[in-house]
Structure 1
Amino acid sequence: MNYFEFYNIPVSFLPDQKLVKSRFYELSKQYHPDFYVNEADEKQKEILELSTLNNKAFQVLSHKNKTLAYVLELEGELLEGEKYDLPADFLMEMMEVNEALMEMEFDFDADKLIEIKHQVQQIEADLDKENEENIEKYESVNQLDKKELLKKIKDIYYRKKYLLRIRESLLIFASR
């Protein structure tokens, strides 16, 4: 059973957060292990599994990026161990950013670091905006168009994952 089915809500990149929280609290009460201490071991195990499922569902569905990855998995677009090929133009842009970071190893420049941070933030902001538009469209189009949008959303997911590594490098430089 997937998390959306468990919470009895429609699959969405943007689940209603009030409903998610409400279902979490409702199921937390229903499946709290303390209420089943006098039950048979098998029933206690079942309740513990349901309680764990509830906690995991809430952790995923209450976090935007985790929900995005989860929906992509449900739709068969995100596969474990998948090697995703990022577009060449994006990789070229990232190569320039990485080269600038490598230069900082030998010749640190605080102004250049700020410039790189702003560049990365702008790239991320553009990707976020594009993904918001894709997700908004996804929620209201036919099945055929959804497949195309899923591919775009997946591409942005992997681009942002790549940018996360660059942001981690920027944090290392910022802490020096």
Structure 2
Amino acid sequence: MNYFDLFELPVSLQVDDSHLAKKYFELQKKYHPDYFTHSTDEEQEDALEKSSAVNKALKILKDKDSTIKYVLQLKGLLEEEEKYQLPPDFLMEVMELNEELSDDSAAAIHDFEKEIYSGVKAIIENYNDAIVTTADLLKVKEYYFKKKYLQRILDRLAD
């Protein structure tokens, strides 16, 4: 089940939160298992599956990184536990950041993240499923893995 279809949304890398919330409540009213207590076992099971899918879809589509990952998976460009080879120049920059970790590092990492986002900003913010190219999506994929890498450093700083 495609989560964009479920929520009657166009495939996008940025989801309209107001539409998402409105549609979520509509779908919960339609599929919540409590409304099927007097239905057949098959109907109850179907409602439970759909309600679960609605909840999972909401969780994914509310989170920008999860949405990017989901779209890349829909397009067949990302495997679940894929090991992605980041460019050496990126890894060198990150290594330098790692060596100089301090209280100010979080700000530097966020600045670096903004810099790498600038390369995919137009693709993400103006995404059109009908005209997006595989090359564009591969740029987004690289951004996704770079951001994920930077987030691990930020998580270590927070510990």
- The TM-score with structure 2 as length reference comes to 0.91
Shift of 1:115: 3.4
Higher Rg: 1
Identify the residue that residue 127 of structure 1 maps to in structure 2. 116
Looking at structure 1, the residues matched to 9 and 104 of structure 2 have their Cα atoms a distance apart, in angstroms, of 43
Residue among 137, 149, 152 paired with 1:150: 137
Aligned length: 159
Identify the residue that residue 67 of structure 2 maps to in structure 1. 67
- CA-based RMSD: 1.7
Looking at structure 1, the residues matched to 5 and 106 of structure 2 have their Cα atoms a distance apart, in angstroms, of 40
Identify the residue that residue 125 of structure 2 maps to in structure 1. 136
Looking at structure 2, the residues matched to 15 and 28 of structure 1 have their Cα atoms a distance apart, in angstroms, of 19
Identify the residue that residue 114 of structure 1 maps to in structure 2. 103
Looking at structure 2, the residues matched to 5 and 140 of structure 1 have their Cα atoms a distance apart, in angstroms, of 13
Contact 1:13 1:68 in 2 (8 A): yes
Percent of pairs with identical residues: 40
- The TM-score with structure 1 as length reference comes to 0.83
CA, structure 1 residues 9+118, in 2 after alignment: closer, same or farther (shift >3 Å)?
Answer: closer
Looking at structure 1, the residues matched to 3 and 147 of structure 2 have their Cα atoms a distance apart, in angstroms, of 24
Alignment of 1:36-75 (within 5 A): 36-75=36-75
Looking at structure 1, the residues matched to 53 and 90 of structure 2 have their Cα atoms a distance apart, in angstroms, of 37
Contact 1:138 1:149 in 2 (8 A): no
Shift of 1:134: 2.3
Shift of 1:140: 7.4
Shift of 1:118: 2.4
The Cα offsets for residues 66-110 of structure 1, whole Å up to 9 and x where unpaired, read as 111111111111112212110111000111122234xxxxxxxxx
Identify the residue that residue 33 of structure 1 maps to in structure 2. 33
Alignment of 1:164-175 (within 5 A): 164-172=151-159
Deviates more, 1:132-141 or 1:22-31: 132-141
> 1 or 2 for the larger relative contact order (CA 8 Å, sep ≥6)?
2
Looking at structure 2, the residues matched to 100 and 169 of structure 1 have their Cα atoms a distance apart, in angstroms, of 13
Name structure 2 gaps, 5 residues minimum. Answer: none
- Structure with the largest fraction of helix: 1
The Cα offsets for residues 47-71 of structure 1, whole Å up to 9 and x where unpaired, read as 0111111111111112212111111
CA, structure 1 residues 39+137, in 2 after alignment: closer, same or farther (shift >3 Å)?
Answer: closer
Looking at structure 2, the residues matched to 51 and 73 of structure 1 have their Cα atoms a distance apart, in angstroms, of 22
